Amino acid sequence: MRDAHDAAVQPLHAAPLDDCWNRIGVRGDNSCERLQQYVRCLNCPVFEQAAARMLDRPAQGTTSAPISQQSTARTDAASLRRDGSLVFRVGAEWLALTASALRYVGESRPIHSLPHRRSSTVLGVVNVRGVLTLAASLADLLHIDANAPATAISGARTATPRLLVTEWDGETTAFPVDDVEGVAYFGADELLPAPATLAHAAGRHVRGVFPWRGRSVGVLEPDALFGALTRSLR
């Protein structure tokens, strides 16, 4: 993964949020006068308004080239081999996302729900290194059963939920996942057609699958994935 993983994760499409909760709130010096009324920053309307701004994302820029052509240029075989792809699990499905779309992989942490959510894909907001970040559900976005048990593999370690913080087209999003296995390197010519169950659920979000460590891993198409996320926020 690239060095930017260690940088502060924040939305890049608008002016920086005034993260008063880190300065004068419960994560700061506790000098905010609103704490007497709301006790916690999560209960304060200022925090709620900042969270709402996370949902007001502009639509992705339009282009005359089809998504498939854009994707081919961005994630060709050479790029996949060079950057690698992170392999992780959502429900019973093992998926891979190009490492160039990842900024940070960390421990699972509490996600704070938002009132009057406009999309079932939006889980809420999560504090990533002191920065308010939109959290979204890959299971909902890809129509995957999040409660389906994973296939047991002999000698496999205990699953550890993780938080994937991504950046694509200038937008930062956090995705909770059920487990992370590692980084795989493969070429586009090694991909096989997705099985009917995954192809039916995830559709064009999956480019194909490849066998890895005894698993069938679905390779996500980032342009289609993040484009669908943007549309779900409208």
Domain definitions of the chain by residue range: 67-232
Highest mean pLDDT among 32-36, 48-52, 64-68, 116-120: 32-36
pLDDT of 101: 93
pLDDT band (50, 70, 90) for residue 134: very high
Q: According to DSSP H, which parts of 62-163 are helical?
A: 67-74, 77-83, 138-142
* Mean pLDDT calculated for residue range 9-16: 43
pLDDT of 94: 93
User: Tokens 């609103």 map to which residue?
Assistant: 34
* Residue 59 in this model has a pLDDT that exceeds 50: no
| Sheet containing 206-212, strands listed edge to edge, beginning at the edge strand earlier in sequence | 179-184, 85-90, 93-98, 215-220, 206-212
Long-range contact list for 201-207, CB < 8 A, 24+ apart? Answer: 201/93, 201/142, 201/143, 201/144, 202/142, 202/143, 202/144, 204/67, 205/141, 205/142, 206/95, 206/142, 207/71, 207/75
Structure tokens at 181: 């296995």
Contact 42, 112 (CB under 8 A): yes
**Pick the residue with more confidence: 165 or 53?**
165
* Residue 233 in this model has a pLDDT that exceeds 70: yes
**Pick the residue with more confidence: 231 or 117?**
231
Terminal Cα-to-Cα distance of the chain (whole angstroms): 31
* Mean pLDDT calculated for residue range 60-89: 57
* Residue 179 in this model has a pLDDT that exceeds 90: yes
* Residue 203 in this model has a pLDDT that exceeds 90: no
Q: Which of 185, 209, 5 is nearest to 86 (CA)?
A: 185
Mean pLDDT of the chain: 77
pLDDT of 164: 95
pLDDT of 97: 95
**67-232 CATH fold:** OB fold (Dihydrolipoamide Acetyltransferase, E2P) (2.40.50)
> Which of 75-89, 181-195, 207-221 has the lowest average pLDDT?
75-89
pLDDT of 6: 39
* Mean pLDDT calculated for residue range 82-89: 85
* Mean pLDDT calculated for residue range 193-211: 76
pLDDT of 199: 62
pLDDT band (50, 70, 90) for residue 14: very low
pLDDT of 207: 86
pLDDT band (50, 70, 90) for residue 204: confident
**pTM > 0.85: yes or no:** no
Instruction: For the chain, give the number of residues.
Output: 234
* Residue 108 in this model has a pLDDT that exceeds 60: yes
* Residue 11 in this model has a pLDDT that exceeds 80: no
Question: What are the strands, taking DSSP E only, across the chain?
Answer: 85-90, 93-98, 102-107, 122-128, 131-136, 162-168, 171-177, 179-184, 206-212, 215-220
